[in-house]
């Protein structure tokens, strides 16, 4: 039987097509002959094992001795685990891995940097390279053949990046959908079979999504996002998927000349010596099992546009629009005549809804040109009806705020409605 296969995405058709209906590429269909499967092919019987007799693997986790990285993974690297690490170009993914894996035996395959470049970076970071093996062979079949002889000598295999590896079985350039599917299946099967940890570095699109087919994220055990602004020294490591741990934890780092420094201080993003000015509020949020405190800045200015400008950085854009609507509806603030700018200091992104109250307070403070009292923190979610709602583990955030000497704490405990906030800021 003759089939026509798209060399870009693998879509199959019984007849030749000028344009692939799946990926939209032109003139990518290649004729292939499919042999009929024998009806007498022997069936492979499935074997079943009682789950009660399966040994737990949590005790096999190996610590990287980089506590923030281990925290996100759930205690360390597990043999046979497959990790997909993504982030913007130049954010520090390779630097993070070099520092993280310096105490383990590593096979490092790179299609983006030469051995000399990686060695220079490692020397700058002060990393001992005795346990690192390097290769720039990018054919997946050849890589697996070579790695088979190193299985007992290494703990981790790093692919930098997955988009540069190709398979000889696919007639398409490296990085396209068909190639990524094929090389992912082969590498993951090899890692699971030989009980090796596999770390794949992945590219991201202009929108910040992981490049390539979504199936890559389904194949792997853990998806890590390394994020931060290039103009900022702060970096945050998040897990969006983790089969062997929680996805609530984050790791915080600061990029310096000699590499990444772990950050454990919950008020690291706050500057004590700053002048107290209108439009500034402190938000208390819970990330994983620890409380963190961020400074949120807002600026409101009269607009000359028919549709006022809204610029948001560090928090969800739609969340800010929602809060502006709540403030206009329940407090009667003329925000439809003002441009509004909201930013989180430090170049980080806040995902938690407990920052809602601080965002609202900073906007009101800027609009009324009244500074908020020093050492004040806001904790709470704001609903559509103007009510201030409690958030998960609010008691822990409040206790940590008191321990860090915040004088005043506003939350759902002492604020029931957003109208109370206006009376506090503008007596």
Please tell me the number of Cα atoms within 13 Å of 110 on its side-chain side: 17
User: What is the number of other CB atoms lying within 10 angstroms of the CB of residue 276?
Assistant: 11
The CATH architecture one would assign to domain 280-425 is: 2-Layer Sandwich (3.30)
Say which CATH topology domain 60-262 has. Answer: Rossmann fold (3.40.50)
Task: Record the pTM.
Answer: 0.79
Percent helix, strand and coil across the chain, each rounded to 5? Answer: 30, 25, 45
The pLDDT of residue 95 is 92
The pLDDT of residue 40 is 53
The pLDDT of residue 249 is 87
Q: What pLDDT digit, counting tens, does each position of 304-323 carry?
A: 999 999 999 999 999 999 99
3-state SS, residue 341 = strand
Of the candidates 115, 345, 126, which has an alpha carbon nearest to the alpha carbon of residue 257? 126
The pLDDT of residue 47 is 82
3-state SS, residue 55 = coil
The pLDDT of residue 340 is 97
Are the CB atoms for 92 and 142 separated by under 8 Å?
no
The pLDDT of residue 158 is 95
Q: Say how far apart CA 106 and CA 175 lie, in whole Å.
A: 24
The pLDDT of residue 55 is 74
**Sequential pLDDT tens for the chain (427 residues):** 678 888 777 788 888 888 988 888 888 888 876 555 555 556 778 888 898 887 766 668 889 989 999 999 988 999 999 999 998 888 899 999 999 999 999 999 999 899 999 999 999 999 988 899 999 999 999 999 999 999 999 999 999 989 899 999 887 788 888 888 899 999 999 999 999 999 999 888 766 677 666 778 888 999 999 988 777 788 999 999 999 988 888 899 999 888 999 988 888 888 776 788 999 999 999 988 889 999 999 999 999 999 999 999 999 999 999 999 999 999 999 999 999 999 999 888 898 999 999 999 999 999 999 999 889 999 999 999 999 999 989 999 999 999 999 999 999 998 889 888 877 776 6
**C-alpha pair distances (Å), 142 with each of 194, 236, 258, 292:** 16, 35, 35, 47
The pLDDT of residue 172 is 79
Of the candidates 368, 393, 200, 385, which has an alpha carbon nearest to the alpha carbon of residue 289? 393
Of the candidates 211, 226, 221, which has an alpha carbon nearest to the alpha carbon of residue 180? 211
Q: E-strand spans in 8-135?
A: 12-13, 29-33, 82-87, 106-110, 132-135
The position carrying tokens 């097509």 is 17
Q: E-strand spans in 228-306?
A: 234-242, 250-256, 259-262, 280-287, 290-302
Helix or strand (DSSP H, E) at 129: none
The pLDDT of residue 27 is 84
Q: Say how far apart CA 102 and CA 236 lie, in whole Å.
A: 20
Q: Say how far apart CA 421 and CA 364 lie, in whole Å.
A: 9
Q: Say how far apart CA 283 and CA 261 lie, in whole Å.
A: 24
The pLDDT of residue 270 is 84
Q: Say how far apart CA 303 and CA 336 lie, in whole Å.
A: 9
């Amino acid at each position: 039987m003759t089939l026509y296969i798209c060399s870009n995405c693998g879509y199959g058709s019984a007849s030749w097509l000028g344009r692939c209906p799946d990926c939209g590429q032109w003139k990518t269909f290649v004729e292939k002959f499919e042999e009929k499967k024998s009806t007498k092919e022997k069936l492979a019987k499935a074997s079943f094992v009682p789950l009660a007799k399966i040994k737990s693997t949590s005790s096999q986790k190996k610590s990287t001795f980089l506590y923030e990285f281990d925290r996100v993974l759930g205690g360390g690297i597990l043999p046979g685990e497959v990790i997909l690490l993504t982030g913007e170009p130049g954010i520090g993914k390779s630097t993070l891995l070099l520092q993280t894996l310096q105490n383990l035996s590593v096979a490092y395959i790179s299609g983006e940097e030469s051995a000399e470049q990686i060695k220079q970076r490692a020397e700058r970071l002060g990393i001992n390279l005795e346990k690192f093996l390097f290769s720039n062979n990018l054919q997946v079949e050849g890589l697996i053949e070579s790695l088979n002889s190193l299985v007992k000598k290494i703990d981790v295999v790093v692919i930098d990046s997955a988009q540069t590896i190709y398979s000889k079985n696919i007639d398409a350039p490296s990085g396209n959908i068909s190639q990524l599917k094929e090389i992912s299946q082969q590498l993951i099967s090899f890692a699971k079979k030989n009980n090796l940890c596999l770390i794949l570095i992945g590219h991201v699109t202009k929108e910040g999504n992981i490049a390539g087919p979504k199936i890559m994220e389904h194949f792997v055990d853990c998806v890590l996002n390394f994020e931060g602004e290039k103009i900022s020294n702060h970096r945050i490591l998040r897990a969006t998927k983790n089969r062997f741990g929680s996805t609530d934890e984050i790791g915080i780092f600061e990029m310096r000349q000699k590499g990444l420094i772990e950050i454990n201080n919950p008020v690291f993003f706050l500057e004590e010596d700053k002048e107290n000015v209108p439009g500034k509020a402190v938000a208390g949020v819970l990330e994983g099992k620890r409380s963190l405190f961020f400074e949120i800045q807002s600026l409101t200015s009269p607009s000359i546009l028919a549709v006022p400008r809204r610029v948001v950085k560090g928090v969800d854009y739609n969340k800010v629009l929602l809060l502006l609507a709540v403030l206009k509806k329940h407090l009667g603030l003329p925000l439809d005549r003002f441009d509004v700018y909201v930013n989180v200091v430090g170049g980080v992104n806040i995902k938690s809804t407990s920052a809602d109250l601080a965002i609202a307070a900073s906007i009101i403070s800027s609009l009324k040109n009244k500074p908020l009292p020093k050492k004040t923190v806001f904790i709470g979610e704001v609903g559509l009806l103007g009510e201030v709602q409690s958030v998960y583990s609010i008691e822990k955030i409040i206790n940590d705020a008191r321990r860090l000497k915040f004088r005043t704490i506003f939350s759902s405990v002492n604020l029931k409605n957003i109208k109370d906030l206006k009376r506090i800021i503008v007596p």
